[in-house]
Amino acid sequence: MPYGTEVPEILKPVTKFISLKVFIKSYDQLMRVAASVKDGTLTAILACQKFGSDAVGDDVRAAGNQFGQLQRTLFLCDYYTKPNFRRELHRVLNRGEAVHVLQRAIYSGRMPHQKGRTNESLEAISGSLTLLTNLVMTWTTQQIQAASERLAARQIIAPAGVLAHVGPARLWNVNLRGTLHWPIDDYADRIFGGALRDRRWPLAVVSSVGKVAAGAQP
């Protein structure tokens, strides 16, 4: 908080007081840097490099640091005093993490040694993974929409609050490895016909053949 701000005694141990003289002095220059980044004249990466740890003592960097501290203070006030805001923030964070889990499931192996040595190769790999992830989420979104329409046709309307927590980054509805598991034991009598009824095949042999048909080792 700025010097001179009245703070309850209970909050003083976690309160840092700062002077806004540098911020007021360098505000115009800080806004000029922000406008350059927004317009594309200056990249965000170059701005962070220019005003990184090596720029300690620079007035523009100090102004940006103080501005960030004030913004973080406002954010923490909203986070601790507004349950709906906090709940929505957690939901968004969980949704983002779900996307990362989906990406790790799509590409679970290691990158080959000869790959990813250039920026172009990294961009191609990252872009391909992003494309596959978007395809999976798009397909899941279509299925969610179709399920919602089928429920609506039966006069079952899901509340908006429930649908807000249903995200497209799901795993269990997509076969990512192409491995299919068939319940052979449930249909062994149909598959082997009268073999089970005549008891000419031991049950162990039938079970083993069923596992082989399912792609497993006997």
Segment 157-210, tens digit of pLDDT? 877 777 777 888 878 777 777 776 777 777 777 766 655 554 444 444 444 444
pLDDT digits (tens, 9 = 90+) for 15-64: 888 888 888 888 898 899 889 999 888 888 888 888 777 777 788 888 88
Q: Which of 93-97, 120-124, 182-186 has the highest mean pLDDT?
A: 93-97
Q: Which helix (H) or strand (E) holds 139?
A: helix 119-153
Whether the CB-CB separation of 144 and 166 falls below 8 Å is answered with: yes
Query: What are the φ and ψ backbone dihedral angles of 27, each rounded to 5 degrees?
Result: -65, -45
pLDDT of amino acid 214: 42
Q: Read off the pTM.
A: 0.55
Spans of all domains in the chain: 9-81, 184-213
Residue indicated by tokens 């799901």: 170
Mean pLDDT of 84-94: 90
What's the count of helices (H) and strands (E) in the chain, helices before strands?
10, 0
| Helix (H), strand (E) at residue 160 | helix 160-163
Tokens of 218: 């006997």
pLDDT of residue 193: 64
What is the b/e burial string over 120-142, where b = at least 16 CB atoms within 10 angstroms of the residue's CB? eeeeeeeeeeeeebeebbeebee
Half-sphere exposure of 116 (CA within 13 A, CB side): 8
Burial (CB < 10 A; 0-12, 13-18, 19+), residue 102, is: buried
The percentage of the chain sitting over the pLDDT mark of 70, rounded to a whole number, equals 86
**Given the structure tokens 């973080």, which residue do they identify?**
72
Q: Which residues lie closer than 8 Å to 165 by C-beta, 6 or more apart?
A: 91
| Distance between CA atoms of residues 77 and 1, nearest Å | 12
Q: Name the percent of the chain lying above pLDDT 90.
A: 8
